[in-house]
Structure 1
Amino acid sequence: MYHDHVRRDKLTNKTWFLGLLALAFTAAGVVGNVGDSGLAARLAPATAALPGGEGLAGVWVALAVALALTLNVHLLGRLGRGLQIAAVWLEVFSLFLVFFYSFDLSYSFILGKLPFLITQGVVTTLYISAISIAIAFVLAMVGAIARLSDNGFAIAIASFYTSFFRGVPLLIQIYLIYLGIPQLGYVIGAIPAGVAALSLCYGAYMTEIFRAGIMSIPKGQWEAARALGFRPMHTLVLIILPQSLRLIIPPTGNQFIAMLKDSSLVSVIGVWELMFLARTQGRDEFRHLEMLITAAALYWLISIVLEQVQSRLERRLARGHRH
């Protein structure tokens, strides 16, 4: 988005906005019964001395929280954009830590299982996801070219492929491949079945991404290439695709991150990826929550790394298209 350089007073500095924000926070606190929380118990001596005493304790606690939150928003609004982003991230992350700290978690159990979750679960998850996205990329390219061709057979097959694999839940696709292919006399392993299901499913979604990216290039580029003697395939590979990649890469990166999380579904057929280990490692000692939280943190960290890689790749591809 274009950043407007016209200087104007920030909304977080306006009295009317801060007043409405404090009122909204107070109402949310009253409706959410913040007066019954542990914070209310700590503030009980102070609220008892205020008008209304214990009868209005919930309102006074909600008002105190609302004023603190409103002041926090006002102070954050006075920071520069970089510091503002970092501060908000730090505050939200701190709230997450406080939320999880309120659970009865065994951190020694988490630390004991963490190396195995990383060396076995994370590695297997990345391995499956990387192979699947590579195959899906090829399927998407072939499917997009078929959808854009003049061949009725190619269009029919490609459209049926995208319709089926986009319309059927991924979990059902995994079961159909893992349990259905052996009915034809070929026994397939759990990992190949999971890779096949992920590849076919995300290849169908990415087919439409590739098709839209190719179609975004003006028709005049095709006509100019043909006038210069380029064959259709040479035109596509040498002229159209390099330009369309700028539009294809961002949604493809999003699909890879989504696939990384959806790879947890292959745990239903016994693949030792991150989700499978998270469910099984905490079973003996009834520490399911510890393992699920650890798995969630690992998925999140991997996604953050992939987001940074995607962002750098987008900036690199966009260098020749800046105005």
Structure 2
Amino acid sequence: MLVALLVFFWKLNLDFSVIFDKLPALLGLHLTAQGGLQGAAMTLFLCAVSMSIAVVMGFVVALGRMSNNAVLFAVATFYASFFRGTPFLLQVLLIYLGLPQFGFVPAAVPAGILALSLNYGAYFSEVIRAGISAVPRSQRESALSLGLSPAQVFWLVVLPQSMPIIVPPATSLFISSLKDSSLVAVMGIWEIMFLAQSYGRSLFRYMEMLTAAAIIYWIMSLVLEVLQIAIEKRVAASNTHQPRRP
């Protein structure tokens, strides 16, 4: 497959001098004229901030969906259903173009972070809910019988046991957010895809720029995959209790 991919790019007759010339900007090694991030640095910033917010939102929504309160359950279920059931690009446009109709004119970067956070918060909620639900009810009952409070049961008993189930899909969502962040290019954010399209139009070298962007996305995904494996092993090891010899 690698050979086939190399042959494909070789047949495109790419001008690698153009790629090497614009590569530092695509990687985010240079700041914008206003001193802001661009390229891969902007992509990583968007993902880091939005995924941090999305994890918090996911926990809140997951608890709402598991709540006995009808209002909390309805609101959490509606939120998860809407943001999981509509295209992300549509959500980006609704936020960026719709909020100004209500008097809110968000800047491109905050709007992009908001869109990513709302979308991935819905997916994180399902992952977290599945992990918490997988812990047997007997574990909670046993912890309560020992005198632990419900909050202590959740943080000390339920959550640690659910982490091996939550971590693999959660880290996969972070990798997916790298690629979905390319859709916020429609807002004018200077991330990888926006720069690739801009340079492609100005230089009439679309394939060179798109190829460079694809390789950068791929390399970042590979790095995150390695981190994912390390995190999964660490979580699995922390939940494995080896019996001590007398």
In structure 2, the partner of 1:94 is: 3
- Residue by residue over 1:92-119, the C-alpha shift from the partner in whole angstroms, topping out at 9 and shown as x without a partner, is 3233222211212111110000001001
2-structure distance, mates of 1:162, 1:252:
16
From 11, 18, 22, give the equivalent of 1:113. 22
- Residue by residue over 1:9-35, the C-alpha shift from the partner in whole angstroms, topping out at 9 and shown as x without a partner, is xxxxxxxxxxxxxxxxxxxxxxxxxxx
The answer to whether structure 1 residue 251 and structure 2 residue 163 are counterparts is: no
Equivalent residue runs for 1:63-212 within 5 Å: 92-119=1-28, 120-212=38-130
In structure 2, the partner of 1:296 is: 214
From 131, 154, 157, give the equivalent of 1:239. 157
In structure 1, the partner of 2:192 is: 274
2-structure distance, mates of 1:132, 1:93:
33
In structure 1, the partner of 2:204 is: 286
Deviation, 1:151, is 1.1
- Residue by residue over 1:299-318, the C-alpha shift from the partner in whole angstroms, topping out at 9 and shown as x without a partner, is 00000000000000101111
Instruction: Identify which of structures 1 and 2 has the higher relative contact order when contacts are C-alpha pairs closer than 8 Å and 6+ apart.
Output: 2
1-structure distance, mates of 2:192, 2:19:
14
Question: RMSD across aligned C-alpha pairs, in angstroms?
Answer: 1.3
1-structure distance, mates of 2:108, 2:209:
23
2-structure distance, mates of 1:198, 1:101:
35
Please give the TM-score of this superposition, normalised by the length of structure 2: 0.91
| Consecutive unaligned residues in structure 1, runs of 5 or more | 1-91
| Consecutive unaligned residues in structure 2, runs of 5 or more | 29-37
Deviation, 1:286, is 0.6
2-structure distance, mates of 1:285, 1:149:
55
Percent of pairs with identical residues: 49
In structure 2, the partner of 1:58 is: none
One-letter amino acid of the structure 2 residue matched with residue 217 of structure 1: V
Compared CA separation, residues 122 and 175, structure 1 to 2 (3 A): same
1-structure distance, mates of 2:7, 2:45:
33
Compared CA separation, residues 322 and 114, structure 1 to 2 (3 A): farther
1-structure distance, mates of 2:236, 2:113:
32
Deviation, 1:179, is 1.4
2-structure distance, mates of 1:99, 1:184:
48
Deviation, 1:195, is 0.8
In structure 2, the partner of 1:321 is: 240
Q: Which has the larger radius of gyration?
A: 1
2-structure distance, mates of 1:222, 1:284:
61
Deviation, 1:322, is 8.2
Q: Moved runs in structure 1, 4+ residues, more than 3 A?
A: 320-323
One-letter amino acid of the structure 2 residue matched with residue 308 of structure 1: V
Size of the aligned set, in residue pairs, is 232
Please give the TM-score of this superposition, normalised by the length of structure 1: 0.70
1-structure distance, mates of 2:135, 2:82:
28
- Residue by residue over 1:51-89, the C-alpha shift from the partner in whole angstroms, topping out at 9 and shown as x without a partner, is xxxxxxxxxxxxxxxxxxxxxxxxxxxxxxxxxxxxxxx
One-letter amino acid of the structure 2 residue matched with residue 239 of structure 1: V
One-letter amino acid of the structure 2 residue matched with residue 196 of structure 1: L
Deviation, 1:321, is 3.3
SS in structure 2 at match of 1:229: coil
One-letter amino acid of the structure 1 residue matched with residue 41 of structure 2: V
1-structure distance, mates of 2:107, 2:176:
23
2-structure distance, mates of 1:276, 1:150:
45
